[in-house]
Structure 1
Amino acid sequence: MGRGRLSSFDLLPTEAEGIVAWAASELADREKTQTDIYAEFVAKCEALMAEHRGELEFAIPAFSSFNRFSIRQARMSARLTETREIVAVLAQKHDAKASDDLTIIAGEMIKSVVLHMLGDGADGVAPKELKALADAFRAAQMAQNLSSDRRAKEDAKLAARVTEAVETVAKAAGMTKETTEAIKAQILGVQA
């Protein structure tokens, strides 16, 4: 089952991607009215076609399509802003030592936003947006994996230092090997 008919934004050529990105950025800035941004959008599309001297022709999305695009962008922007605010609050409550946990939390939030947006299939996520979402999802997963790898390496370094310290102290105190191993097991939480 497909998502239906492609929107006029989906049908724009790749050469117009920069104009679409510009429009999305202008809409997110909220400094100009949607009508003013649409007028500039149309002018930029016409200039792009003129620049290609008839070799590039495409239908410029109507204002109603631009309005739907604007609403989608506003929803996406609101979700991303909400996610950033949550991560900022979490960052204030965690010290640098807990950065791995924060990375995992942020990664899960990003993945949640991506999945939520994909669940709103009725909004008609454009292929370009889908790629951006997939990239964000992949980047979040990679950050979590790096965070887990770094934590494992740090845990291994700590275990080596603890082992060395316990053995040094045990040797100086004249403890048996069994006592030393029992102490290491208690500290490290593993059987030696």
Structure 2
Amino acid sequence: MAGRGRLSSLDLLPDEARDDLLWALAELNRRERTQADILFELNDRLEAKGLETISRSAFNRKSMRLAKRTMQLEERRHIYAGIAERLTPEEVGNADLVLGEFLKTLLDELLDE
């Protein structure tokens, strides 16, 4: 089993930068501003706190992982919606609930690969 890999500069940011990083990730998810613009503002925020800035390549890697994960979550939402339509209150029993949770887990694992 592979480990988590080397920690990026974003992973190594101190706790005082957590709000700034979360802000930047939320901005990336909104998809209303360019990645370069968000990085510029993030680095301004970090510099104001006397912290190391983030390189463009490190931020791009994080952005790419975030975009991939967002797409996977969107795919899962559509898959789950298709399954949920078939699970009416009349048809759902305890065994069906267990099976539904198992299917969710299985789909998550398959999509993660």
- RMSD across aligned C-alpha pairs, in angstroms? 2.8
Check if 1:28 corresponds to 2:29: yes
Which amino acid in 2 is paired with 1:30? Answer: R
- 1:110-121 to 2 correspondences below 5 Å: 110=105, 112-113=107-108, 117=112
Contact 1:45–1:60 (8 Å) recurs in 2: yes
Percent identity (aligned):
38
Check if 1:105 corresponds to 2:106: no
Contact 2:76–2:107 (8 Å) recurs in 1: no
Q: 2:105 and 2:51 mapped to 1: Cα distance?
A: 35
Check if 1:90 corresponds to 2:83: yes
1:80 to 65, 73, 77: 73
Change (3 A) 1:27 1:94: same
Residue 158 of structure 1 is matched in structure 2 by: none
**Residue segments in structure 2 that go unaligned for 5+ positions in a row:** none
Q: 2:45 and 2:106 mapped to 1: Cα distance?
A: 34
- 1:1-192 to 2 correspondences below 5 Å: 3-47=4-48, 49=49, 57-97=50-90, 98=92, 101=96, 104-106=99-101, 108-110=103-105, 112-113=107-108, 117=112
Contact 1:90–1:102 (8 Å) recurs in 2: no
Q: 1:107 and 1:21 mapped to 2: Cα distance?
A: 31
Which amino acid in 2 is paired with 1:113? Answer: D
Contact 1:16–1:45 (8 Å) recurs in 2: yes
More relative contact order, 1 or 2 (CA 8 Å, 6+ apart)? 2
Using the TM superposition, give the Cα deviation of residue 110 of structure 1 relative to its aligned residue in structure 2, in angstroms: 4.5
TM-score by length of 2: 0.75
Q: 1:35 and 1:99 mapped to 2: Cα distance?
A: 51
TM-score by length of 1: 0.48
Q: 1:103 and 1:70 mapped to 2: Cα distance?
A: 35
Aligned length: 110
Structure label with greater radius of gyration: 1
**Residue segments in structure 1 that go unaligned for 5+ positions in a row:** 50-56, 120-192
Contact 2:27–2:33 (8 Å) recurs in 1: yes
